[in-house]
Amino acid sequence: MNLKTKIQHIDAVKPIIVLNLEDAKELGVHPSDRVKISSNGKTAIAIVNTTTKSVNEGEIGVFDEVERELSLKDGDVVSLQIANRPKSLMFIRKKMDGLKLNDTEIRTIVQDIVDDNLSDIETTAFVVSSYMRPYEMDETVSLANAMVDTGETLDFGDNVVDKHCIGGVAGNRTTMLLVPILAAAGLTMPKTSSRAITSASGTADTMEVLSGVSFKPDEIKEIVNKTGGCIVWSGALNLAPADDKIIKVRYPLSLDPKSQLLASIMSKKKSVGSNYLIVDIPVGKGAKIKKWEEGKALAYDFVNVGKNMNIVVKCLITDGNFPIGRGIGPSLEAVDVLLALGNKGPRDLINKALDMAAAGLELAGKTDGRVIAEKILHLGKAKQKMKEIIEAQGGNSGVKLSDIPIGDKTYIVKSERKGSVRRIDNKFINMIARAAGAPKDAGAGIYLHVGGGDNIKIKDPLFTIYSEHERKLDNAIELTNKLKPVRIGGVILEEIG
């Protein structure tokens, strides 16, 4: 069938075309079927949508991906024929039936995801299949390796250390202390980090307050070769691209199959050539993982997957009941980091970063890791190294606290009772900071005046909300009154008589 091109000017991420319903019937295709499009010696496979309105009979609506691949313009004539269904659909069904997949079958699925040969519905089926039928260890390793092999890889030689946090804890910017400490110790730490999804800030969002974070692979190599470390946004790279496509499907469903979680993290670490990996697994009421036993089981899985991928893994099960640091939001977290690099910041943030640095140093064969890390921080070597990294990433190495933009619309939340701080809910704190504008508004967020176990009196300040807009500040105040994220408990449980 020959049809005339009608450019739709829609970026759908996947190759998609739209057919008039009558043409689709004549060709014998239905929505989500695939067609092969040919033009001027080039071919592309695309997923079909149908319409009775926006595309007339004899026309083919072309989305941006197909337009670019075939160099099409309005009015070009293309040839259309039915394409075969991807083999990977058969393997996804096999997993749904409870059967084990081999390495070749898993690699076929991953390649089809990378090549956009699967629709969102079909990729969702892949995610659901591993949720319903958990992968065995060798399947998980195959999935991780396939993700690595279908994307870019970076090579920084030996003694490459990396770190990952399972997430769920507000603040927790240990990465921005860990990288300069380990780099100052002579190790290599090319840290690729994400932006916030549900939190008030991701590491990349906070680092962006101080420097650029979007770089090409060659630029990252130059930065790391010069300084020993970097803190960059992973989204600007093509590391394990299948993982990014799978996450887009997983997130709306709130599905996090363990095999895909492990493969997701380990593939990204393998892609940057990590020899050693520190995994932070926060456990507690406010964290993603609520129970110690669950955290311990996940830690063993990380270690085992690491062994099969030639990465030495050490997991730290940490307290996830409270935020780490005082600032929640990009600029406020950046303030915490700069203070901590001067050994003046929040002690919980400093101590956790030192614990993780000690683990990294000891993984790389150095003894007395905590002593080495403390010395590097106290002598100002980590601060100097961070300046080098900031400058190499295009920032101002002489940045001062007064240079960091903080929202000028503020509201102080005060205690309505006396007692001790029993809980600061990570999820609620993040929700309020996001309502105030974080992370899009870098200066928005929350600054905590209290920590777990602190004794307070009535009208003592609990936290300050910062915003760049009055309307967003009002939204954050309204949410605070509803959620009450700081729980105060008294000593007296009951009075009688």
171 and 287 Cβ atoms separated by less than 8 Å? no
Q: Which residue has the higher pLDDT, 180 or 489?
A: 180
Q: Quick one: pLDDT at residue 65?
A: 92
- With a cut of 70, say whether residue 215 has pLDDT above it: yes
- Any residues with CB less than 8 A from the CB of 173 and at least 6 apart, and which? 203, 206, 324, 325, 333, 336, 337, 349
Q: Quick one: pLDDT at residue 256?
A: 80
- With a cut of 60, say whether residue 492 has pLDDT above it: no
Torsion of CA 367, 369, 370, 375, to 10 degrees: 100
* Residue ranges per structural domain of the chain: 2-82, 88-133, 161-236+269-392, 409-489
* 342's tokens: 């001067």
- With a cut of 90, say whether residue 199 has pLDDT above it: yes
Task: Sheet with 419-424: list strands edge to edge.
Answer: 455-456, 419-424, 486-489
- With a cut of 50, say whether residue 152 has pLDDT above it: yes
Query: Cα dist. 133→26, 94, 220, 255 in Å?
Result: 39, 10, 38, 13
- With a cut of 90, say whether residue 303 has pLDDT above it: yes
Question: What CATH number has the domain spanning 2-82?
Answer: 2.40.40.20
Q: How confident is the model at residue 166 (pLDDT cuts 50, 70, 90)?
A: very high
High-pLDDT (> 70) share of the chain, %: 98
- Any residues with CB less than 8 A from the CB of 161 and at least 6 apart, and which? 182, 187, 188, 189, 274, 275, 276, 277, 278, 360, 363, 364
How far is Cα 14 from Cα 175, in angstroms, rounded to an integer?
Answer: 34
- Any residues with CB less than 8 A from the CB of 481 and at least 6 apart, and which? none
Mean pLDDT computed over every residue of the chain: 94
Overall average pLDDT of the 97-126 stretch: 94
* 171's tokens: 């603040």
pLDDT in tens, 423-433: 999 999 999 99
Burial label for 458, CB within 10 Å (0-12, 13-18, 19+), is exposed
- With a cut of 80, say whether residue 372 has pLDDT above it: yes
The length of the chain, given as a count of residues:
497
Catalytic residues, which ones? 256
Among 305, 11, 357, residue whose Cα is nearest residue 177: 357
Overall average pLDDT of the 277-295 stretch: 92
Assign domain 88-133 one CATH number from 3.40.50.300, 2.40.50.100, 3.50.50.60, 1.20.970.10: 1.20.970.10
Backbone angles phi, psi at 62, to 5 degrees: -115, 125
Q: Quick one: pLDDT at residue 183?
A: 98
190 and 163 Cβ atoms separated by less than 8 Å? no
Burial label for 382, CB within 10 Å (0-12, 13-18, 19+), is buried
Q: Give percent helix, percent strand, percent coil of the chain, each to the nearest 5.
A: 45, 20, 35
CATH architecture assignment, domain 161-236+269-392: 3-Layer(aba) Sandwich (3.40)
- Any residues with CB less than 8 A from the CB of 403 and at least 6 apart, and which? 396
Judging by DSSP bridges, how do beta strands 16-20 and 59-62 pair with one another? Answer: antiparallel
- With a cut of 60, say whether residue 221 has pLDDT above it: yes
- Any residues with CB less than 8 A from the CB of 474 and at least 6 apart, and which? none
- With a cut of 90, say whether residue 116 has pLDDT above it: no
- With a cut of 70, say whether residue 339 has pLDDT above it: yes
Q: Quick one: pLDDT at residue 244?
A: 87
Overall average pLDDT of the 42-62 stretch: 94
Burial label for 149, CB within 10 Å (0-12, 13-18, 19+), is middle
CATH 3.90.1170.30 fits 409-489, yes or no: yes
pLDDT in tens, 8-47: 999 988 899 999 999 999 999 999 899 999 998 999 999 9
Q: How confident is the model at residue 490 (pLDDT cuts 50, 70, 90)?
A: low
Cis status, amide bond into 439, omega within 30 of 0: yes
How far is Cα 219 from Cα 464, in angstroms, rounded to an integer?
Answer: 39
